[in-house]
Amino acid sequence: MHLDQKVSLKTLHTFGMEVEARYFVEAKTHSEVLTLLNYRHMIHMPILFLGGGSNVLFTRDFPGIVIRIHSKGITIREQDDHHVVVTAEAGENWDEFVQHCVNNHWIGLENLSLIPGTVGAAPIQNIGAYGVEVKDFIESVQVVEIDSGKQKRYSNIECEFGYRDSIFKRALKGKVIILNVTFKLIKVGEPGGERVAEKSLLNLDYGDIRGELQRLGVTDPDIGDVRTAVCNIRRKKLPDPAEVGNAGSFFKNPVIGKALLDSLQSRFPEIPSYAQLSDDDFKIPAAWLIEQCGWKGYRNGDAGVHPNQPLVLVNYGAATGSQIVELAKKITDSVQQRFGIRLETEVNILGSL
C-alpha cells in the first residue's frame, strides 16, 4: 500500500467534482483493510471508505484519509442443479459482476445491469431497477467492524433491507466496512437448453423491457436478451457518468399513505401510483413529481436536471457540490409545496456547507 497526499478525487466519484483528499490509499485485500483499520487508531483525522464513488456528492475537499476499497474476486461457494451460491469481493465493479452472472446463465441480477458502483455498495443502498431489488438475491454480507477489527457475517434478514435502505445506512452506518457479498442465484442451462423454464423465471413486466425486446426482434428472450434490453433502456434514459457527471437517481421514490393518495388523486387524477406490500402504502414516482414542478431539463450554470430523467441531477462540467445541493433543495421545496410530499435523497452528501 502507498499513502499519497493531496490526491484529486475527480475521477474517483461519478459526479466528477473538482475535490481532493488530503491523503489517499487503496486497499486491495482484506488484510490491507485490517491494517488500515489498525492504523486509523494512531491518527486523529477523518477517514472515508470509498468504493466506486457512484452514490456520493462531495461539497468540499476531504480533510482526512480516503481509503478506496479495491478488492477483487468472484468465488462459487456451492451449487447444485438449480442454484449457485457465489461470493463477490466488495471492490468488484457491479456491472461487470452482473455480466459475469449472465455469461454463466445465473438468473437474478440481469435487471440490475449497468447500475454504476461496486458490489460492496449494492447492499447498502439495496439497489433496485426494473422490478428487482438486490436484497431478493443476497444470502449474506461479510463486514469488518471499524472500531474492533472483528469480522462478522450478516444474514439477509439481519441486513434489515427496505426500499433503498438497509442496516448499513442506519444502525451500522460508519461502523462497518463491507468486505464481500454472497448471492444465491438460479441456474439455467446453456442457450437452447431449458428455454421454457428460463423464460418463466425472467422479470419482463416492468418498465419498457418487453417493448425493447420487441424492438430488437426477440420473441423468445433469454437472460442475455434481458440484459441487453435493460442496458439499451438505461443508456437512452440516463446519462453516462463518463460523459456527464451524476450519481444516478438523486431522490428516492416516496411512499405515501392511502389518505394522502386519495387527496392527491382528487386534485391530480393522472398521478401514477404503485401499491406496496402494505395495503395502505403506495409508491409515487419522484420523477413525475419533479417534472410536474417544471424542473425537467433545468440548468443553472453547470448544475442541472437531466432532460430525459428528472430524477438525475447532473454536473455539466464545473458545478460544485454545494450548487447541486442548492438545486436539490429547491426541487424538494417545490415538490413539498405543490404535493405535500417531502422527497428524500438517495445520494450520500459529504462535507458541511
16: domain CATH number is 3.30.43.10
My answer on whether 207 and 102 are in the same domain is yes
DSSP 325: H
Band of residue 94 on the pLDDT scale cut at 50, 70, 90 = very high
Stretch 176-190: mean pLDDT: 90
- The residue among 69, 94, 120 that closes a domain is 69
My answer on whether 224 and 282 are in the same domain is no
Domain count across the chain: 3
296 class by beta-carbon count within 10 Å (0-12 exposed, 13-18 middle, 19+ buried): middle
Residues 6+ apart with CB under 8 A from 274: 282, 283, 284
My answer on whether 201 and 273 are in the same domain is no
pLDDT of residue 51: 86
My answer on whether 109 and 207 are in the same domain is yes
**What is the chain's mean pLDDT, rounded?**
92
305-315 tens-digit pLDDT = 999 999 999 99
Count of Cβ atoms closer than 10 Å to residue 78 Cβ? 9
- The residue among 190, 208, 237 that closes a domain is 237
Q: So which residues are the catalytic ones?
A: 164, 249, 346
Supply the pTM of this predicted model.
0.86
The cell for 308 is 430525459
Which residue range(s) make up the domain with 153? 72-237
**Do the strands 62-69 and 20-27 form a parallel or antiparallel pair, or are they unpaired?**
parallel
Lowest-pLDDT choice from 48-52, 136-140, 183-187: 48-52
pLDDT of residue 193: 47
Give the CA angle between residues 210, 213, 216 to the nearest 5°.
155
**Secondary structure (H, E, C), 192-252:** CCCHHHHHHHCCCCCCCHHHHHHHCCCCCCCHHHHHHHHHHHHHHHCCCCCCCEEEEECEC
User: Mutual orientation of helices 94-103 and 223-237 as an angle, nearest 10°?
Assistant: 150
143-165 tens-digit pLDDT = 999 888 899 999 999 999 998 89
My answer on whether 89 and 223 are in the same domain is yes
CATH of the domain at 296: 3.90.78.10
Higher pLDDT: 239 or 193? It is 239
My answer on whether 40 and 109 are in the same domain is no
Per DSSP, which regions of 108-190 are E strands?
Answer: 128-129, 132-133, 138-145, 151-155, 176-187
Stretch 72-82: mean pLDDT: 94
pLDDT of residue 199: 65
pLDDT above 90 (res 200): no
Stretch 99-103: mean pLDDT: 97
Q: Which residues does residue 151 pair with via DSSP β-bridges, in sequence order? A: 144
My answer on whether 139 and 77 are in the same domain is yes
Dist. CA 183–CA 140, nearest whole Å: 7
Stretch 172-197: mean pLDDT: 79
Stretch 106-116: mean pLDDT: 95
pLDDT above 50 (res 260): yes
My answer on whether 108 and 22 are in the same domain is no
pLDDT of residue 340: 96
pLDDT of residue 58: 96
My answer on whether 50 and 104 are in the same domain is no
pLDDT above 70 (res 280): yes
Lowest-pLDDT choice from 11-20, 49-58, 284-293: 49-58
Higher pLDDT: 92 or 35? It is 92
- The residue among 49, 69, 89 that closes a domain is 69
pLDDT above 90 (res 38): no
Band of residue 6 on the pLDDT scale cut at 50, 70, 90 = very high
Band of residue 353 on the pLDDT scale cut at 50, 70, 90 = very low
pLDDT of residue 201: 85
Read off the amino acid at residue 324: I
My answer on whether 182 and 208 are in the same domain is yes
pLDDT of residue 41: 67
Higher pLDDT: 207 or 350? It is 350
pLDDT of residue 230: 96
My answer on whether 290 and 309 are in the same domain is yes
My answer on whether 175 and 256 are in the same domain is no
